[in-house]
């Protein structure tokens, strides 16, 4: 593997406290090294003078693989019409798709923007083999996946029986068996209610048959994740997503933190795509923004993090989520297409195409909420900008989203095109906050790496880190980003150079080499005496609940392309 020396760039590396300093970066054997270790007679020297140098971007929440993504591709042929890009071997494979791209375009488009690690945030246990098969085919970027446990039959049984240690052991087994990275909760408990009653439930409503509430599920999964010492504890899609008045549900969910036993100072829960759960009002006609309230709750509680699910106005989207009740309601609002899938009746998904319109009253408020939460919270270490791809917009539009965070003028220019009556129901016009390039580097590199517990070798440019580097053709000393935000968008849409694992994969916005990244998963330890109890429990329950055998759920490491195991020392007692 060749040596590379990147010289004279403006380096933004928040984990190491570097804020736009002109520095040299050395790359050798796929790792960052001290520039003095580079043999200049052998190295490729890259002059990054007048350009921005950052670690590779990390997306903590993007639907890029699995059965619902595949259904989305099948139900939207118009999404692929006129988007085809023929292969250009040996550099890249054929690309197609806009809101639900094929696997090749996903990897290439992320790499073109300078992103090098992306998380698929919701995979049903019984269908995770499918998810990994798609992740294997996505080029260039590293991947990970979060396993759905919110209505898992076995987990619910253990919760109602009060077997916390055994619950933790079961979740540890499930993570390792499915080769996933963290626990995902979607509309906790609602799949049971959806199957039996055709609706969802709020935080403190009783779940039929089980006679527990979503609050109980969040609390007990939270306690189990603490025992497991997971790097990313809980990834939560709150109940009543997409319903007017649901900001109160989000505040209640955040409040569950006080009932969870903390064993470290790391975040307890991560609220995902908060825009979709930040609505005030009791109907669509009276909808208002709850962004200011949510920002206040986040500022008051250092143990919660979130991502935005930022709406991109004027763009098509394909909504897809394991929140089947919400998709059912959305279909009746749009009256176009709808797909629904139940997985062994313990998790469900819905897919509905949608378009966010600039002049729409509801869509304007949705657009404002995500920005309000980010700007009013004011903590880039705990707020991650995402579009919940492809739910609120395609990930390709991330640079547009970033421009709204760094430039009030960018927001004002968009505000001229939106529904003016709706704007009056938000606080966005009065917000003067503008984030810096350093803040953007935190939100898209350093903070996601820390939230995933991968900051030892991801999300920074210190010695020993993986050589994942993005260089953007933008001089921060010559361009006023607050005024000339369009230059920022252009630069960040197509990176000038991207290095993945020490190899140049993008030059001047074009893919020049296809490599394949790693897939990360965790292996939490289980005490041997507890493992015996778990084995007995699994053998009994699998015969009762599932159509497959226990052994066939296990995904072997060889089934993952370049698997990377993260061993975890747990706090489970035998």
449's tokens: 């790496």
Give the Cβ contact number of residue 347 at 10 Å: 25
The pTM of the full predicted model, rounded to 2 decimals, is 0.97
Which of the 8 DSSP states describes residue 158?
A: H
Phi, psi of 185 (to 5 degrees): -115, 125
Cis ω on the peptide bond leading into residue 90 (within 30° of 0)?
A: yes
Specify the DSSP element, H or E, that contains 128.
helix 128-137
Q: Where are the domains of the chain?
A: 57-451
* 298 φψ region: left (φ > 0), alpha (ψ -120 to 50), beta (else): alpha
Q: Which residue in 90, 106, 73, 546 sits closest to 351, CA to CA? A: 73
Per-residue pLDDT for the chain (574 aa), expressed as one digit of tens each? 589 999 999 999 999 999 999 999 999 999 999 999 999 999 999 999 999 999 999 999 999 999 999 999 999 999 998 899 999 989 999 999 999 999 999 999 999 999 999 999 999 999 999 999 999 999 999 999 999 999 999 999 999 999 999 999 999 999 999 999 999 999 999 888 888 888 889 999 999 999 999 999 999 999 999 999 999 999 999 999 999 999 999 999 999 999 998 888 899 999 999 999 999 999 999 999 999 999 999 999 999 999 999 999 999 999 999 888 889 889 888 888 999 888 887 888 899 999 999 999 999 999 999 999 999 999 999 999 999 999 999 999 999 999 999 999 999 999 999 999 999 999 999 999 999 999 999 999 999 999 999 999 999 999 999 999 999 999 999 999 999 999 999 999 999 999 999 999 999 999 999 999 999 999 999 999 899 999 999 999 998 999 889 999 999 999 999 999 999 999 998 6
23-37 core/surface letters (b: 16 or more CB in 10 A; e: else): bbbbbbeebbbebee
Cis ω on the peptide bond leading into residue 390 (within 30° of 0)?
A: yes
pLDDT at 69: 95
Give the residue ranges of DSSP H helices in 378-526.
398-406, 408-415, 420-423, 437-441, 447-451, 485-493
Query: Which CATH superfamily does the domain covering 57-451 fall into?
Result: Metal-dependent hydrolases (3.20.20.140)
Give the Cβ contact number of residue 421 at 10 Å: 10
Phi, psi of 97 (to 5 degrees): 100, 145
Which of the 8 DSSP states describes residue 456?
A: T
Specify the DSSP element, H or E, that contains 27.
strand 18-28
Give the residue ranges of DSSP H helices in 141-238.
153-160, 164-178, 190-197, 214-228
pLDDT at 324: 86
What is the rounded distance in angstroms from the CA atom of residue 113 to the CA atom of residue 101? 15
pLDDT at 27: 98
The residues that bridge with 10 in the sheet, in sequence order, are 22, 52
pLDDT at 1: 55
């Amino acid at each position: 593997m060749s040596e590379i020396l990147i010289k004279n760039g403006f380096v933004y590396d928040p984990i190491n406290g570097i804020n736009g300093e002109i520095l040299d970066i050395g790359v050798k054997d796929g790792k960052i090294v001290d520039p003095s270790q580079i043999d200049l007679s052998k190295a490729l020297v890259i002059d990054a003078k007048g350009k921005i140098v950052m670690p590779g971007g990390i997306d903590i929440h993007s639907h890029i693989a699995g059965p619902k993504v595949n259904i989305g591709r099948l139900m939207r042929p118009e999404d692929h019409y006129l988007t085809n890009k023929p292969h250009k071997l040996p550099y890249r494979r054929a690309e197609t798709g806009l809101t639900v791209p094929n696997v090749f375009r996903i990897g290439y488009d992320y790499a073109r923007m300078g992103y090098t690690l992306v998380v698929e945030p919701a995979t049903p246990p019984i269908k995770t083999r499918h998810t990994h098969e798609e992740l294997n085919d996505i080029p260039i970027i590293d991947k990970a996946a979060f396993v759905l446990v919110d209505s898992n039959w076995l987990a619910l049984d253990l919760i109602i029986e009060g077997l916390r240690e055994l619950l933790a052991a079961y979740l540890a087994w499930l993570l390792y068996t499915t080769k996933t990275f963290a626990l995902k909760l979607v509309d906790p408990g609602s799949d049971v209610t959806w199957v039996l009653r055709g609706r969802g439930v709020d935080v403190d409503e009783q779940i039929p048959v089980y006679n527990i509430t979503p609050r109980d599920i969040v609390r007990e999964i939270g306690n189990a994740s603490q025992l497991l010492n997971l790097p990313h504890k809980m990834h939560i899609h709150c109940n009543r997503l997409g319903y007017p008045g649901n900001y109160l549900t989000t505040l209640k969910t955040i409040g569950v933190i006080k009932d969870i036993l903390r064993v470290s100072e790391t975040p307890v829960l991560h609220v995902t795509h908060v825009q979709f759960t930040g609505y005030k009002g009791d109907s669509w006609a009276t909808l208002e923004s709850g962004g200011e309230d949510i920002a206040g709750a986040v500022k008051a509680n250092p143990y919660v993090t979130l991502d935005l699910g930022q709406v991109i106005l004027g763009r098509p989207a394909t909504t897809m989520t394991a929140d089947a009740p919400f998709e059912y309601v959305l279909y009746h609002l749009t009256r176009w297409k709808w797909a629904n899938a139940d997985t062994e009746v313990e998790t469900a998904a819905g897919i509905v195409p949608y378009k966010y319109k600039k002049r729409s009253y509801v869509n304007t408020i949705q657009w404002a909420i995500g920005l309000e939460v980010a700007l009013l919270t004011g903590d880039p270490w705990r707020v991650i900008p995402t579009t919940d791809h492809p739910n609120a917009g395609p990930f390709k539009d991330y640079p547009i989203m970033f421009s709204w965070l760094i430039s009030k003028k960018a927001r004002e220019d968009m505000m001229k095109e939106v529904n003016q009556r709706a704007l009056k129901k938000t606080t966005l016009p009065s917000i003067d906050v503008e984030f810096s390039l350093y803040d953007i580097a935190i939100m898209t590199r350093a903070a996601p790496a820390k939230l995933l517990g991968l900051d030892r070798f991801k999300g920074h440019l210190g010695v020993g880190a993986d050589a994942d580097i993005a260089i953007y053709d933008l001089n921060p000393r010559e361009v006023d980003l607050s005024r000339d935000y369009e230059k920022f968008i252009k630069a960040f849409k197509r990176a000038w150079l991207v290095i993945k694992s020490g190899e140049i994969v993008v030059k001047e916005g074009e893919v020049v080499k296809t490599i394949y990244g790693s897939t990360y998963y965790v292996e939490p330890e289980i005490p041997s005496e507890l493992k015996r109890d778990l084995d007995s429990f699994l053998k009994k329950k699998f015969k009762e609940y599932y159509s497959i055998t226990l052994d066939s759920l296990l995904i072997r490491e060889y089934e993952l392309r370049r698997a990377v195991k993260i061993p975890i020392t747990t706090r489970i007692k035998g």
